[in-house]
Amino acid sequence: MVQKKGRIFSGMRPTGRLHLGNYLGALKSWVELQDDYECIYCVVDVHALTTLESVQDAKAIVPNTNEMVLDWLAAGIDPNKSIIFVQSHVPEVMTLHTLLSMVTPLGWLMRVPTFKEKLRQMKANDETVNYGLVGYPVLQTADIILYRGDTVPVGEDQVPHVELSREIVRRFNKIFGNTFPEPKVKLTESPSIRGLDGKTKMSKTLNNHVELALSDDETRKRIMSAVTDPQRTHRNIPGRPDICNVYSLHKIFNERKVNEIEQGCTSATLGCVDCKMDLAVNVNKHLAPFRERRTALANQPDLVQAILTDGAKRARKIAKSVIAEVRGKMGL
């Protein structure tokens, strides 16, 4: 057997169909890593509950999981190479979460930038924010180390979480003896994709995203709504590609023509409308094989369920032995 470089663990919240940010920041590298690493990919459904606003959100978890796993498979995640499963199907993660919470200072959690940002977005305060949201990175740490993951491919927004995981692991190992590897982040070439507003990161919550599974026409409409250089109020005013998000997407999807686009923009010979139209054509071209595979996979109704059932069985075997070791070390 070929010696693998290590064990990958990564996860995504079941938000339904994925967008270009999820793909370029994480999923693309998940696919590429499958040959060199043992890979475990998880649908983190319990994390989705940390921002639950209504029972409708809870009811959406299962259909959203199905949509998301179809995207994973269509992108090239192979259940014969990787373990694909749903977080709550391996309940040992809840046990490890509770045990890790005993060695995690509250101050570490309160300082996490994503936590502060969520509080701002939700207009929450000490009285309304739930305990589960504060513990989000502890559960994320439990995810990774329950499977002894040592490498975590994620987008840039997740770096502070993994840094915290390293600190929790260091503390656990110091108190109870060397048990877990310190997980390291693995970033892609484009770890932070901006949304169509050109300002903030691409995200479904902000509705500034482009879903991978849209039709060509829907993709074109979304891209045509993208904000370009705000100073370029007329076609004859030269643009600044270095600050334009449409240009940064051309660098990814239209590599061959990127110098031409830059020249056209800075000399005002290429207008933003034509520039976006060209981007849409290239995004559609890039995603065509993915979309074809996704349609074929969606026509197999029990496929995702069967893959997730098998994945949970394989994941649970690892989880049980790790939990037995942790219980012993913690005197339980």
- Binders of ligand TYM in range 30-89 (CB under 6 A): 44, 47
Q: Residue 242's beta-bridge partner residues?
A: none
Q: Please identify, using beta-carbon distances, which residue of 11 and 135 lies nearer to ligand TYM.
A: 11
Q: Cα separation of 134 and 73, whole Å?
A: 32
Catalytic residue among 28, 81, 204, 329: 204
Q: Please identify, using beta-carbon distances, which residue of 120 and 234 lies nearer to ligand TYM.
A: 120
Which of 7, 13, 97, 294 lies at the binding interface for ligand TYM (CB under 6 A)? 13
Q: Please identify, using beta-carbon distances, which residue of 170 and 235 lies nearer to ligand TYM.
A: 170
Please report how close the Cβ of residue 332 comes to ligand TYM at its closest, in angstroms.
24
Cβ–Cβ under 8 Å, residues 275 and 265: yes
Active site residue 313: no
Applying CB under 6 A, which part among 11-19, 233-241, 282-290, 314-322 lies near ligand TYM?
11-19
Which residue is it, tokens 């705000």? 230
Please report how close the Cβ of residue 187 comes to ligand TYM at its closest, in angstroms.
9
Which of 77, 193, 210, 246 lies at the binding interface for ligand TYM (CB under 6 A)? 193
312 touches ligand TYM by CB under 6 A: no
Q: Please identify, using beta-carbon distances, which residue of 93 and 265 lies nearer to ligand TYM.
A: 93
Active site residue 118: yes
Applying CB under 6 A, which part among 198-206, 268-276, 288-296, 319-327 lies near ligand TYM?
198-206
Backbone angles phi, psi at 46, to 5 degrees: -70, -40
- Could you tell me the two tokens for 183? 């997980």
Which of 8, 26, 279, 280 lies at the binding interface for ligand TYM (CB under 6 A)? 26
- Quick note: the x/- pattern for ligand TYM over 136-175, rule CB under 6 A, is ----x--xx-------x-xx-xx--x--------------
Q: Please identify, using beta-carbon distances, which residue of 179 and 203 lies nearer to ligand TYM.
A: 203
Please report how close the Cβ of residue 204 comes to ligand TYM at its closest, in angstroms.
9
Applying CB under 6 A, which part among 117-125, 185-193, 234-242, 322-330 lies near ligand TYM?
185-193
Please report how close the Cβ of residue 210 comes to ligand TYM at its closest, in angstroms.
11
β-sheet with 184-186: strand ranges across: 82-86, 38-43, 7-12, 151-153, 184-186
25 touches ligand TYM by CB under 6 A: yes
- Could you tell me the two tokens for 184? 């390291």
Q: Cα separation of 183 and 191, whole Å?
A: 18
Position 278: which residue type? D
Question: Binding residues for ligand TYM, how many (CB under 6 A)?
Answer: 26
Active site residue 285: no
Site residues for ligand TYM per CB under 6 A:
9-13, 21-22, 25-26, 44, 47, 140, 143-144, 152, 154-155, 157-158, 161, 191-193, 201-203
User: Which residues are known to be catalytic?
Assistant: 118, 201, 204
